[in-house]
């Protein structure tokens, strides 16, 4: 009888601790505990490495797999250097699928630990969950105690989803804190080797890859890619977003203002993207908040698009190199027009020289 009583008591306590874990677990965990759960959930460990042990950089690219596959940093640096004669330090932090909530939480932690002159957020191009769920990786980066107001202001269906997902992952995070990092795989190393990008030398839809280099120099300027018109309330860059996602947009905006960091949203091309439905600079967001869109025509002219994509929405190495070159030119143009100044690369070089 007595042992049954204690078994019930212990079961109650364990279950209560489990169900309330989002409120207390982070008192026992480092923010970077996510490094311990990398193997089954993509490259969050690498993101954590960049976020918690990173460095000051010029431009941070943050977004989904379109971004991870679509920016060749070496080409970007060459494009920028060709226009300015200077170096630029850039980095990609990308996750599978779009999610403004995850972008916010990663940015918050990144800016707490590092500085960047410009954040380039990949504009959501599609919404695989119809906007009904937080990003599946948000549970690793979200901490109620760090953003209590944001948490309680979210619609209850969303905050409950966030809460439930963190309850589910709490035992794994605790185990990770005890066991430590569970090892890295080949994919992690590949991504780490290219500043967070993952370029694929694959032909479209399984076709043989044909290395293609567009000989014409990319001449795009800010004015060519800047979208201008007015932003409908329910849409971001023509993509419908939910009210709660908009709350995260405002949170991103406040965060960047506090850190005096500028932001642009970039809409990546996809194979059928014709560049219509222009969207706008938006006075709702006081931080520097411009929307850029790179169209297939601007990037690849009249070349066969299948040379530049490995599937319908992801650029391959050919496309990423061209995008990088063009983006480098646009960043140089932003600087020449006095919109922004990049200095992290030269600061780093200076520090290395002094050492």
CB of 185 to another protein, least distance (A): 9
Nearer to another protein, 168 or 278 (CB): 168
CB of 169 to another protein, least distance (A): 8
Binding residue (CB under 8 A) for another protein from 39, 55, 86, 143: 39
> What is the bridge-based pairing of β-strands 289-293 and 262-267?
parallel
Stretch that binds another protein, among 157-165, 220-228, 290-298, 303-311 (CB under 8 A): 157-165
CB of 163 to another protein, least distance (A): 7
Closest alpha carbon to 56 in 118, 115, 113, 110: 115
Nearer to another protein, 96 or 242 (CB): 96
- C-alpha 291/C-alpha 281 separation (Å) is 6
136 binds another protein (CB under 8 A): yes
Query: Of all helices (H) and strands (E), which one includes residue 208?
Result: none
Q: Give the x/- contact pattern for another protein in 43-82, rule: CB under 8 A.
A: x---------------------x-----------------
Stretch that binds another protein, among 75-83, 103-111, 128-136, 146-154 (CB under 8 A): 128-136
Decide: residue 65, CB within 10 A, 0-12 exposed, 13-18 middle, 19+ buried.
middle
Size of the site for another protein (CB under 8 A): 36
Concatenated DSSP letters of 70-105: H--HHHHHHHHHHHHS----EEEEE-SS--HHHHHH
Binding residue (CB under 8 A) for another protein from 27, 40, 216, 353: 40
- C-alpha 226/C-alpha 320 separation (Å) is 20
Nearer to another protein, 68 or 322 (CB): 68
Stretch that binds another protein, among 135-143, 232-240, 244-252, 272-280 (CB under 8 A): 135-143
196 binds another protein (CB under 8 A): no
42 binds another protein (CB under 8 A): yes
- C-alpha 239/C-alpha 128 separation (Å) is 12
Q: Give the x/- contact pattern for another protein in 200-239, rule: CB under 8 A.
A: ----------------------------------------
Query: Of all helices (H) and strands (E), which one includes residue 120?
Result: strand 116-122
Return the DSSP state at 194: T
CB of 251 to another protein, least distance (A): 20
Q: How many helices (H) and strands (E) does the chain have?
A: 15, 7
Closest alpha carbon to 258 in 32, 107, 93: 107
Alpha carbon distances (Å) from 253 to 226, 237, 283? 19, 16, 11
Binding site for another protein (CB under 8 A): 1-2, 4-5, 8-9, 11-12, 15-16, 18-19, 39-43, 65, 96-97, 129, 133-134, 136-137, 139, 157, 160-161, 163-165, 167-169, 187
């Amino acid at each position: 009888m007595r042992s049954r009583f204690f078994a019930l008591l212990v079961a109650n306590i364990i279950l209560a601790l489990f169900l309330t874990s989002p409120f207390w677990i982070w008192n026992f965990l480092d923010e970077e505990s996510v490094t311990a759960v990398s193997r089954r959930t993509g490259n969050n460990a690498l993101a954590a490495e960049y976020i918690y042990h990173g460095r000051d950089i010029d431009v941070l690219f943050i977004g989904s797999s379109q971004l991870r596959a679509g920016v060749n940093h070496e080409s970007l640096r060459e494009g920028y250097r060709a226009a300015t004669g200077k170096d630029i330090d850039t980095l990609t932090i990308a996750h599978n699928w779009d999610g403004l909530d995850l972008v916010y939480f990663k940015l918050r932690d990144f800016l707490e630990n590092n500085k960047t002159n410009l954040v380039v957020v990949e504009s959501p191009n599609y919404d695989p969950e119809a906007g009904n769920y937080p990003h599946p990786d948000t549970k690793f980066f979200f901490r109620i105690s760090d953003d209590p107001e944001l948490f309680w202001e979210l619609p209850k269906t969303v905050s409950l989803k966030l809460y439930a997902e963190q309850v589910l992952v709490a035992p794994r995070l605790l185990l990770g804190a005890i066991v430590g990092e569970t090892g890295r795989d080949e994919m992690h190393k590949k991504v780490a080797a290219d500043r967070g990008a993952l370029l694929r030398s694959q032909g479209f839809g399984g076709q043989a890859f044909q290395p293609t280099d567009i000989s014409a120099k990319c001449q795009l300027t800010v004015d060519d890619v800047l979208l201008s018109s007015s932003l409908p309330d329910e849409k971001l860059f023509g993509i419908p977003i939910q009210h709660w996602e908009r709350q995260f947009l405002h949170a991103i905006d406040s965060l960047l203002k506090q850190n005096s960091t500028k932001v642009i949203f970039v809409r990546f091309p996809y194979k059928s993207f014709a560049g219509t439905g222009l969207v706008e600079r938006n006075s709702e967001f006081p931080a520097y908040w411009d929307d850029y869109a790179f169209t297939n025509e601007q990037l690849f002219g009249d070349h066969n698009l299948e040379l530049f994509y490995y599937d319908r929405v992801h650029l391959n190495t050919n496309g990423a190199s061209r995008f990088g070159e063009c983006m480098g030119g646009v960043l140089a143009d932003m600087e020449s027009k006095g919109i922004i100044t990049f200095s992290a690369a030269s600061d780093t070089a200076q520090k290395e020289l002094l050492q």
